[in-house]
C-alpha cells in the first residue's frame, strides 16, 4: 500500500489521478467507479499496489486541520508500506506541514517528501525551504503538468517490498490449477455494525486462533474454523481494540485496516447496520474489492431491528444498497441478525457458492465455441480513431481461478472498446453461470 498524505489543497487527489489514469484506460469507463475514488489498485511497470489518497478518509472531514492531518499520518504509518508526504511549492511551508512532518519522523516506513506545484524552474528554486523539514528523501512534481511523476514512481517502486508474485499464467496450461484448501474470509465494516458478534456467531466454540499478535502491520486477527466441511480462515478486523486509547467520541472506521484485510482475503463480508446502511467509506472499500477482483458480499446486520415494522423494508434496503454500490449489480446482499443468529446459514451458503464460482474452470473447447458464437452474434465495432483497423479475437481461454481470469488473444488490445468488453464478459457469465463474482478479462496481442 502506498498512501498519499498532506494538508488540503496541496494536490493529493490530482497526484492520485495522475498515477491512476495511466492504466485505467479501459476500467475507468465503468460508470461511477472513477468518481470520488480514494483507494485503487494500480499496476505500474508490472508492479501492483494499492494507492490511497488519505485526504478524504478522515473520520471527521469538518474537523480541525491539525487533527485531520494527524489522523492521515497515523493511518498511513500503521498501514502503508510507502508514504508520500505532499506539500505545495506555491503556498510554501505551512504549520500543518510541520505537524505532519513531526508525526512522520517517527515512522519506520519510507517517507518521500513530495513538493508539488513545481510547475517551472523558478518554483523549484523557491522550494528550498522544504529541506528544513528534515526529510531525507525529497522530490519535486507538478501533478498539474504531469512533471516528475514517472521519476517519483520509480522511487516508490524501489521502496516497495519485493512482491510475492504468483507464477505468471503459463502459455499452454489447459488444466485447472489446484484449488486452495482454505477460504480466506475477511469481515470489515464500520465500528458497531456487529462484526465481533458475527464473528463470534460464526466461530461458536470451534475456535483456534492462528495469529493473535496485535499491533503489527497485520492489523487483524486470523482465526481458523470450518463450515460444512470447508476450511475457512476468518480475518477479523474488529478483533483488536487498542487498550487505553481514547476514541474522542468519533466513530473510528479503520478504512485502511479494512483495505489490508480485503487485500489478504478471497471473499469479504462488508458488514453494514440495517438502521443506517452503507456509507461512503463502505463504498470505497467495496470499490477496492471490485478493483482487485475479490469476492464481496454485502451483509446487512441487525435486521431484527427492522423486519417487523414494515414489509417493504427489505426491498427498500436492497434498493439503497444497490444505489450505493451501483457499479456492482451482481454483488450478493445478505440480511442477518448476528444477535439472534438469523440468516447466518444463508450468508455462509452464499459465501460457499461464491467460493465455488471463483474456483470454477471453463474448458478451452467450450470457450472457443462461445467466442465464435459471440463474434457471429455481434461483430466488434470499428473504432473511429483507428479507421483502418478492426478488432480481431483469435483465441479465448481461462488462465486462472480466484478470480476467474480469461485471456483473449487479439490483434491489438487498444481496439477493445469498453462496451464490447462488457458484452464478452456477459457472454462468459451467462454461459458458465458466473452469477456473483467479478471476472478478470485480459487482452493480449497474439
Q: Which residues bind ligand GDP (CB under 6 A)?
A: 6, 8-14, 55, 116-117, 119, 142-144, 189, 191-197, 238, 301-302, 304-305, 337-339
CA atoms within 13 A on the CB side of 23: 15
58 or 357, CB closer to ligand GDP? 58
Min dist CB 241 to ligand GDP, Å, is 9
Q: Report the length, in residues, of the chain.
A: 446
99 or 367, CB closer to ligand GDP? 99
249 or 445, CB closer to ligand GDP? 249
Query: If you ran DSSP here, which 8-state letter would residue 267 be given?
Result: E
Task: List the Cα angle 386/387/390 in 5-degree steps.
Answer: 75
118 or 135, CB closer to ligand GDP? 118
Alpha carbon distance 244, 253 (integer Å): 18
113 or 428, CB closer to ligand GDP? 113
119 or 173, CB closer to ligand GDP? 119
Q: Residues 51, 292: contact at Cβ < 8 Å? A: no
Alpha carbon distance 40, 56 (integer Å): 13
Min dist CB 370 to ligand GDP, Å, is 43
Alpha carbon distance 121, 360 (integer Å): 56
Min dist CB 222 to ligand GDP, Å, is 16
Three-state DSSP class for residue 297: strand
Among 331, 296, 332, 300, residue whose Cα is nearest residue 313: 300
Min dist CB 86 to ligand GDP, Å, is 7
Among 70, 130, 64, residue whose Cα is nearest residue 103: 70
Min dist CB 143 to ligand GDP, Å, is 4
Q: Where are the alpha helices (DSSP H) in 340-409?
A: 344-358, 364-377
220 or 410, CB closer to ligand GDP? 220
Min dist CB 223 to ligand GDP, Å, is 14
8 or 32, CB closer to ligand GDP? 8
Nearest 5°: phi and psi at 271?
-90, 130
Going from the C-alpha of 39 to that of each of 214, 270, 288, the distances in angstroms are: 25, 16, 6
Going from the C-alpha of 61 to that of each of 57, 94, 256, 378, the distances in angstroms are: 8, 20, 16, 48
Among 104, 96, 259, residue whose Cα is nearest residue 188: 259
270 or 288, CB closer to ligand GDP? 270
192 or 433, CB closer to ligand GDP? 192
Min dist CB 12 to ligand GDP, Å, is 3
Residues near 218 by beta carbon (within 8 Å), at least 6 away in sequence: 211, 260
Min dist CB 334 to ligand GDP, Å, is 12
Query: If you ran DSSP here, which 8-state letter would residue 278 be given?
Result: -
Min dist CB 306 to ligand GDP, Å, is 10
Query: If you ran DSSP here, which 8-state letter would residue 55 be given?
Result: G
Min dist CB 187 to ligand GDP, Å, is 9
Min dist CB 392 to ligand GDP, Å, is 40
17 or 398, CB closer to ligand GDP? 17
Q: Residues 359, 266: contact at Cβ < 8 Å? A: no
Cell numbers representing residue 75 in the block: 493511518
Q: Residues 264, 235: contact at Cβ < 8 Å? A: yes
Going from the C-alpha of 326 to that of each of 57, 280, 283, 286, 350, the distances in angstroms are: 21, 12, 10, 11, 20
Amino acid at each position: 500500500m502506498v498512501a498519499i498524505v498532506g494538508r488540503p489543497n496541496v494536490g493529493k487527489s490530482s497526484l492520485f489521478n495522475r498515477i491512476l489514469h495511466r492504466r485505467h484506460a479501459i476500467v475507468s469507463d465503468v460508470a461511477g467507479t472513477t468518481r470520488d475514488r480514494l483507494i485503487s489498485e494500480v499496476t505500474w511497470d508490472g508492479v501492483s499496489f494499492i494507492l490511497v489518497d488519505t485526504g478524504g478518509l478522515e473520520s471527521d472531514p469538518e474537523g480541525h486541520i491539525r487533527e485531520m492531518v494527524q489522523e492521515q499520518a497515523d493511518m498511513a504509518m500503521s498501514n502503508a508500506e510507502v508514504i508520500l508526504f505532499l506539500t505545495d511549492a506555491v503556498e510554501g511551508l505551512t504549520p500543518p506541514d510541520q505537524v505532519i512532518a513531526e508525526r512522520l519522523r517517527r515512522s519506520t516506513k519510507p517517507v518521500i517528501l513530495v513538493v508539488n506545484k513545481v510547475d517551472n524552474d523558478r518554483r523549484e528554486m523557491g522550494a528550498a525551504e522544504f529541506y528544513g523539514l528534515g526529510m531525507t528523501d525529497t522530490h519535486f512534481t507538478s501533478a498539474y503538468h504531469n512533471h516528475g511523476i514517472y521519476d517519483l514512481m520509480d522511487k516508490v517502486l524501489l521502496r516497495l517490498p519485493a512482491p510475492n508474485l504468483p507464477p505468471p499464467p503459463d502459455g499452454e496450461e489447459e488444466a485447472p490449477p489446484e484449488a486452495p484448501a482454505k477460504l480466506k474470509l475477511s469481515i470489515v465494516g464500520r465500528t458497531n455494525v456487529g462484526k465481533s458478534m458475527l464473528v463470534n456467531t460464526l466461530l461458536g466454540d470451534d475456535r483456534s486462533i492462528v495469529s493473535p499478535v496485535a499491533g503489527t502491520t497485520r492489523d487483524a486477527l486470523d482465526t481458523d474454523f470450518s463450515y460444512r466441511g470447508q476450511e475457512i480462515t476468518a480475518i477479523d478486523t474488529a478483533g483488536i481494540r487498542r487498550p487505553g486509547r481514547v476514541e474522542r467520541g468519533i466513530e473510528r472506521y479503520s478504512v485502511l485496516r479494512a483495505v489490508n484485510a480485503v487485500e489478504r482475503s478471497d471473499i469479504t463480508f462488508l458488514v453494514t447496520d440495517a438502521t443506517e446502511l452503507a456509507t461512503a467509506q463502505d463504498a470505497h472499500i467495496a470499490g477496492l474489492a471490485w478493483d482487485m477482483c475479490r469476492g464481496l458480499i454485502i451483509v446487512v446486520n441487525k435486521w431484527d431491528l427492522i423486519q417487523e415494522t414494515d414489509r417493504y423494508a427489505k426491498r427498500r434496503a436492497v434498493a439503497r444498497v444497490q444505489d450505493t454500490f451501483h457499479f456492482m449489480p451482481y454483488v450478493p446482499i445478505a440480511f442477518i441478525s448476528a444477535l439472534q443468529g438469523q440468516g447466518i446459514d444463508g450468508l455462509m451458503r452464499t459465501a460457499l457458492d461464491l467460493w465455488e464460482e471463483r474456483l470454477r474452470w471453463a474448458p478451452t473447447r467450450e470457450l472457443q465455441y462461445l467466442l465464435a458464437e459471440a463474434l457471429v452474434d455481434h461483430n466488434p465495432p470499428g473504432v473511429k480513431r483507428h479507421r483502418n483497423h478492426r478488432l480481431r479475437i483469435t483465441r479465448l481461454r481461462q488462465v486462472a481461478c480466484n478470480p476467474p481470469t480469461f485471456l483473449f488473444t487479439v490483434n491489438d488490445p487498444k481496439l477493445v472498446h469498453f462496451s464490447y468488453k462488457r458484452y464478452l464478459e456477459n457472454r462468459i457469465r451467462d454461459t458458465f453461470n458466473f452469477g456473483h463474482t467479478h471476472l478478470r478479462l485480459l487482452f493480449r496481442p497474439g
